[in-house]
Structure 1
Amino acid sequence: MQLNKIVLYSLDGKKRILPFELGKVNIITGESKSGKSALIEIVNYCLASSSCDIPEGIIRDSVSYFSICITFNDGETVFIGRENPNIKGIHASSTVCLIRNIKEELPELNTISPNLNIDTLKEFLTRKIGITENLHIPDSLTREPLKANFKHSRFYCYQPQYLVADPYQLFYNQNKDFVPQSIKDTLPYFLGAVNEESLLIESEITQLKKQLNRLVREKKESDKIKSEGISQAYSLIEEAKEIGLLDRNTKPTNQKEAYKNLELVANWEYQPLKAKAENSALKELIDKRNELKIELGKISDNRKAATDYLKNSFGYSTEAKQQEIRLESINIYNTEIEFNANCCPLCESQLEVPIPTIENINNSLLSIKNDLKFTKAESPRIQSYIDTIDSQYHDIESELKKTEKSISALYIENEKARTMRDLNIRRGKIIGRVSLFLESVEHDVEFENIDSKINNIKVRIIELENSIDSENAKEILMSILNKINLQMSMWVKELDVEYENDPIRFDLNKLTMYIDTDTKPIALPQIGSGANWVAYHLLLIFALHQHFIQSNRPVPRFIIIDQPTQVYYPPEKTNDLVEVSTDEIAVSKMFDFIFKVVTSLSPNLQVIITDHAFLKNDNFINSVIEVWRDGLKLIPNDWGKIE
């Protein structure tokens, strides 16, 4: 599978077509910030990526559909179009448009219609590149078996700018969760170290091991039940006797009798205990008590008011009597005597406040006598009223005490009922435990042959493991990796790197590379120099693809490399196109190496390079498909943006 072209659609249907030659080196060179580094993520998005990692900005603001045309080994070319997620404001489009056997004429934007979801596209690509049924079975069974698919084959096709010079990771997305383990699990399949005919056998072994683990656990449980069975049976019998499920005189003499007693418990028929349930009587009594308390309070208030009135009346009578005695002295005067009330009768001086007349004094005396007569008449009636209130108070108080006593009695009765309900709950729990115990005893019969089952499964697993010869598979993998290491060690002399005379080794378990010097192995991060890191990345990725091609393994036949000259001409130092003369030895060696490998594998390997360097030699110039400068970029200047 190789890339035929990248096609971008503007919002109004214009096309930006970027064609590639199959089986050759294709170079796009140009200024920085022209869109070169976005090509890897555009291709990956169209090839069923679960996310859209195309950079935000002019590209995602101006494109309606990202699409590619890919050509498979059987000659079929298919069109895959996927909508820009920014159109609908989503993370990634979940559907694509797949058109098979497409010719040179590309579909118009208004004819593109999604017809597959991402998972279906992934399955299509998996089958199309030849990935057969496979399953990696972890030795420890601590992880779920992993099936290699098209997604795993892409790890070896992309070398973005951030990756190609990174000493800590070798493959695309290696820095993401679970990807390193996925590479370790699936790369042996892609290398051809796994015998595909043995995959079904490995799957059967996995299922047998799971079954074996289950039987071993069940056997342990059975052995535990047998060892603890009789003591547990006697313990359950004692508990059943305590709560009335068995007669207190029950005393089994052997295991058989104990089990029979427990069967009686398990089959015990529930008999509801007769207990008066809490009903409306308690509520009525509580309501009555509250009413009596309210009535008692009212009577108490009335009695206090009457008593206070009687006390005040007595005090008033005493004071009024004294006033009556003093005022009666007025009878010594003749009521017909005339005198001037404004003149003092002793000194005849004028008074500011007139003195009371005899008539006024007599009127006051008469008023006091009338009040005294009324008070004397009312006092007996008030006392009688108080006596009546006292009688009512004592009657209600007596009724309240009776009500309180009735309420207490009901509470006691209801507490007994709750105790009885708790007893039934305890009985239910014991019955459940007894039933569970008896079921486990019944299962003993099933476990009688468990040892033979375990032995049979172990024998079968050994037979299957011998048939696939896992040690041989490991030896095959080691042999393949040795050949790849040998190829890298031969190629290294063609690049401008340190340690060019020392063997190179790729460690699959650690996903790094080592240089085996005369004194010690040196890991890639400890080698130093960005130029070395780029060179070793290229050595490994091309050595892997050479093996994929020569062994006809199901991996896409293209590599996209972004900014391999960045360590020599950092883009941040200049935005312009960098013209490189042929006397730049390191850069010339790098591209000569790439051209040599691609030519040796032609037409089975396609390499697409995006860089801001322009090398002045024939191979480079003849491989350039576009130069992005003087306004030419991935996105044309006249394309509109999403509003």
Structure 2
Amino acid sequence: MKIIKVCLFNDKNEIRVIDFKTSGLNIITGASKRGKSSILDIVEYCLGSNHCNIPYGHIRNYVSWFAILLKNNDQEIFIARKKPEARSNVSNEFYLSHGKKIDIDNILYLEENSNQHDILSFLSQEVGMYPHITEVPQHQTRPKIDINFKHSLYLYFQNQDELASKKLIFHRQSEQHMPQVIIDTIPYFIGAIENGRLSELEKLRQLKRELATKKNKHYEINSLIGDGLAKGNSLLNQAKALRLYKGDGYIKNISVILENLKKIEEWTPSPLKSDDNIDQTENLDKLQKSYEKLSLEKRILNSKVVELRSYALAVDEYSTSKNEQLIRLKSIEIYKKTLENTDNEYIDLIRRNLLKLEQELEDSSTKQPRISDSLNELEKKQKEIALDLKSMREQINLIRSINFSSNVKKEFNNDIESAKIVGKASLYLESLESVNSNSYLRNDIERLENLISSLEQHLNPTNIQELLESQINFISEDITKWSRELQLEHSEYPIKLDIKKLTISADTPKGRIPLYQMGSGENWVGYHLVTHVALAKWFAEQKRPVANFLFFDQPSQVYFPSDKSTKGNLNEIEKDEDRVSARRMFKWLYDVCKYELKDKVQIIVTDHAHIHEDWFEECIRDVEWRGFNALIPLEWYQS
């Protein structure tokens, strides 16, 4: 995977495009404050970084979307990412398009169709990353890392501060937790962790779970059986004490023990024979039946009482109502008036109603005593039944509370103990039969232990470390060779990449010299260059799942302070040896790309220097960024 274009879109959908070649050395040269270094930040941002280090100013003010066009095998990938909103570090709005050929000019409008998670998953798949989660040693609390494309970003970039650092080798190494992330993930990218290790680790966990289950089963069976002869004889002795077994002495033959225990297993408790107990049981049954019958009779009687009380209440209410009517009619004393010569039909009607009411009241008054007598009779019977039920309950409870006779109780307890022994014998027999019929369990345990041992040996982290050291040795050979070509200090000795300490060191007769103990900015820049080019070469040749480009920002800074230069010419460098070293560095980058990396790795350099030689001129991309030429076109912010 390499970079074809870096694109900027403004709010008017105007596009600024910087083209690159996918092989060889690509140089963006120009004066300071033209946005050269920002190209690195833009590419990293578009590749799904958690940070946006694109500087504020013209770039953020006039660009709405940042984009890159990538080439991966025979496919082109266009990724655009919206600039962060105010007070936000990043945006999660992405635009993704991919196919055989992507025409930037046909992209008229950018609209979110993806997000950071999906972009990283897509890129991980495109470079061929296989699943892997880092392993954390016991007693260490750092989180495991589910490796994706984002974790490879530290391999591609070297900004100005990092490139000239004597303490840092990798991009973002100075950030909190990042050194450990690099240490944990770089063995994967280099190739010390094989494809399929994650599934093999899961297989190992499954085998261990299966082994634990079978061992627990085996332990349970053995603990139940114990020592076969001792356990069997102990059970027979317990059975003998309860008259379930009549043998004597210690039996040394397991078959005889099993035969006797099987007979004991057939034991059944004898029924209780006490006549007293039988009589009491019969009496209890009779009483319970009588109690149930009388309880039913009581419920029926209760219903009758409720109905009769309701009827009595209704009759009483009726009499009261009629009596009130009679009183009202009598109060007008119409029946005392003598109207011999007056014919009044209303007076006759009232008189007839009075006579009717008096008759109804007389009838109801005769009914009330009869109702009262019936109710008293029923309530009396209620009390009698309640007393009978109470007496029966007391008799039932008395029978239930009577203890068995001493013989019956003894016989009952003996049966309980016998049942316990029979249960133990059955469990013992089942366990012994289980071991005999499942002897394959021990074979399974042995088979699983062998598989686990073999897999653990294969997955031993020591093997990873040994393989990693061997691979680092190959990479370090190129580092040593190229450091000599650049004539770096201590390069007469073997130069070694130290992954554990994340540094470069020279193995001298007097001991190892790490980069931070070497002098001169020229050495620091030089060792950064050769280290990352050596890694990129290894990744490409070994077809590792990473992108195949490198980004170096301002490698000439140690020779070529931009504040004293106007055009970036080598003759502006004061010291002759520095001019020679600066040219040697760029010529080495050109030659290593052309003759060793060939089309495998793309190197992009943003720098102040401009060497007026054909080999350098052919590497310059875009125009030289001096005067009004810069990353952001003049018309974008002057219109």
The TM-score bracket by the shorter chain reads 0.5 to 0.7
Between the aligned partners of 1:557 and 1:541, the Cα distance in structure 2 is 11
Instruction: Classify the secondary structure of the residue corresponding to 2:558.
Output: coil
User: Which residue of structure 2 lines up, in the alignment, with residue 631 of structure 1?
Assistant: 628
Deviation digits for residues 223-260 of structure 1, max 9, x if unmatched?
xxxxxxxxxxxxxxxxxxxxxxxxxxxxxxxxxxxxxx
Between the aligned partners of 1:215 and 1:117, the Cα distance in structure 2 is 47
Deviation digits for residues 96-126 of structure 1, max 9, x if unmatched?
0001126363156752111111100000000
User: Which residue of structure 1 lines up, in the alignment, with residue 148 of structure 2?
Assistant: 149
Q: Is the 8 A contact 1:35 1:634 kept in 2?
A: yes
Between the aligned partners of 1:132 and 1:576, the Cα distance in structure 2 is 49
User: Which residue of structure 2 lines up, in the alignment, with residue 38 of structure 1?
Assistant: 38
Matches within 5 A, 1:490-509: 490-509=481-500
Shift of 1:524: 0.6
Give the count of matched residue pairs. 413
Deviation digits for residues 340-397 of structure 1, max 9, x if unmatched?
xxxxxxxxxxxxxxxxxxxxxxxxxxxxxxxxxxxxxxxxxxxxxxxxxxxxxxxxxx
User: Which residue of structure 2 lines up, in the alignment, with residue 99 of structure 1?
Assistant: 97
User: Which residue of structure 2 lines up, in the alignment, with residue 60 of structure 1?
Assistant: 60
Is 1:6 the counterpart of 2:2 in the alignment? no
Tell me which amino acid in the other structure corresponds to 1:576.
T
Between the aligned partners of 1:553 and 1:213, the Cα distance in structure 2 is 38
Is 1:165 the counterpart of 2:164 in the alignment? yes
Shift of 1:475: 2.1
User: Please, which runs of 5 or more residues in structure 2 have no aligned partner?
Assistant: 216-434, 436-441
Between the aligned partners of 1:541 and 1:476, the Cα distance in structure 2 is 20
Instruction: Classify the secondary structure of the residue corresponding to 1:167.
Output: coil
Instruction: Classify the secondary structure of the residue corresponding to 1:44.
Output: helix
- Change in CA separation of 1:491 and 1:209 when aligned onto 2, cut-off 3 Å: farther
Instruction: Classify the secondary structure of the residue corresponding to 2:68.
Output: strand
User: Which residue of structure 2 lines up, in the alignment, with residue 200 of structure 1?
Assistant: 199
Q: Which moved more, 1:33-42 or 1:5-14?
A: 5-14
Q: Is the 8 A contact 1:502 1:517 kept in 2?
A: yes
Tell me which amino acid in the other structure corresponds to 1:59.
I
Tell me which amino acid in the other structure corresponds to 1:47.
L
Equivalent in 585, 588, 591 of residue 593 of structure 1: 588
Shift of 1:462: 2.4
Shift of 1:176: 1.6
Q: Is the 8 A contact 1:576 1:612 kept in 2?
A: no
Q: Is the 8 A contact 1:13 1:108 kept in 2?
A: no
Q: Is the 8 A contact 1:11 1:640 kept in 2?
A: no
Instruction: Classify the secondary structure of the residue corresponding to 1:138.
Output: coil
Is 1:610 the counterpart of 2:600 in the alignment? no
Equivalent in 109, 120, 123 of residue 122 of structure 1: 120
- Change in CA separation of 1:46 and 1:455 when aligned onto 2, cut-off 3 Å: same
Matches within 5 A, 1:460-475: 461-468=452-459, 470-475=461-466
Shift of 1:504: 0.5
Shift of 1:634: 0.3
Between the aligned partners of 1:178 and 1:53, the Cα distance in structure 2 is 18
Tell me which amino acid in the other structure corresponds to 1:529.
S
Shift of 1:134: 2.1
The alignment-based identity, stated in percent, is 34
Shift of 1:204: 3.5
Shift of 1:563: 0.2
Shift of 1:205: 3.5
Instruction: Classify the secondary structure of the residue corresponding to 2:556.
Output: coil
Shift of 1:195: 2.1
Between the aligned partners of 1:545 and 1:158, the Cα distance in structure 2 is 11
Q: Is the 8 A contact 1:137 1:202 kept in 2?
A: no
Is 1:516 the counterpart of 2:476 in the alignment? no
Tell me which amino acid in the other structure corresponds to 1:539.
V
Deviation digits for residues 242-280 of structure 1, max 9, x if unmatched?
xxxxxxxxxxxxxxxxxxxxxxxxxxxxxxxxxxxxxxx
Is 1:557 the counterpart of 2:548 in the alignment? yes
Matches within 5 A, 1:539-578: 539-571=530-562, 573-574=563-564, 576-578=566-568
Between the aligned partners of 1:597 and 1:577, the Cα distance in structure 2 is 26
Tell me the TM-score normalised to structure 1 length: 0.59
- Change in CA separation of 1:206 and 1:60 when aligned onto 2, cut-off 3 Å: farther
Q: Is the 8 A contact 1:29 1:577 kept in 2?
A: no
Tell me which amino acid in the other structure corresponds to 2:592.
V
- Change in CA separation of 1:204 and 1:176 when aligned onto 2, cut-off 3 Å: farther
Instruction: Classify the secondary structure of the residue corresponding to 1:505.
Output: strand
Is 1:525 the counterpart of 2:516 in the alignment? yes
Q: Is the 8 A contact 2:74 2:100 kept in 1?
A: no
User: Which residue of structure 1 lines up, in the alignment, with residue 178 of structure 2?
Assistant: 179
Between the aligned partners of 2:179 and 2:542, the Cα distance in structure 1 is 24
| RMSD of aligned alpha carbons | 3.3
User: Which residue of structure 1 lines up, in the alignment, with residue 418 of structure 2?
Assistant: none
Q: Is the 8 A contact 2:132 2:197 kept in 1?
A: no
Q: Which moved more, 1:161-170 or 1:596-605?
A: 596-605
Instruction: Classify the secondary structure of the residue corresponding to 1:100.
Output: strand
Matches within 5 A, 1:275-294: none
Between the aligned partners of 2:487 and 2:561, the Cα distance in structure 1 is 18
Tell me the TM-score normalised to structure 2 length: 0.60
User: Which residue of structure 2 lines up, in the alignment, with residue 622 of structure 1?
Assistant: 618
Shift of 1:136: 2.4
Instruction: Classify the secondary structure of the residue corresponding to 1:566.
Output: helix
Q: Is the 8 A contact 1:45 1:52 kept in 2?
A: yes
Instruction: Classify the secondary structure of the residue corresponding to 1:26.
Output: strand
User: Which residue of structure 2 lines up, in the alignment, with residue 304 of structure 1?
Assistant: none
User: Please, which runs of 5 or more residues in structure 1 have no aligned partner?
Assistant: 217-448
Shift of 1:575: 6.1
- Change in CA separation of 1:518 and 1:617 when aligned onto 2, cut-off 3 Å: farther
Instruction: Classify the secondary structure of the residue corresponding to 2:630.
Output: coil
Shift of 1:628: 0.3
Q: Is the 8 A contact 2:11 2:62 kept in 1?
A: yes
Matches within 5 A, 1:404-415: none
Matches within 5 A, 1:214-613: 461-468=452-459, 470-571=461-562, 573-574=563-564, 576-580=566-570, 584-599=579-594, 600-613=596-609
Shift of 1:183: 1.3
Between the aligned partners of 1:480 and 1:602, the Cα distance in structure 2 is 22
Q: Is the 8 A contact 2:503 2:514 kept in 1?
A: yes
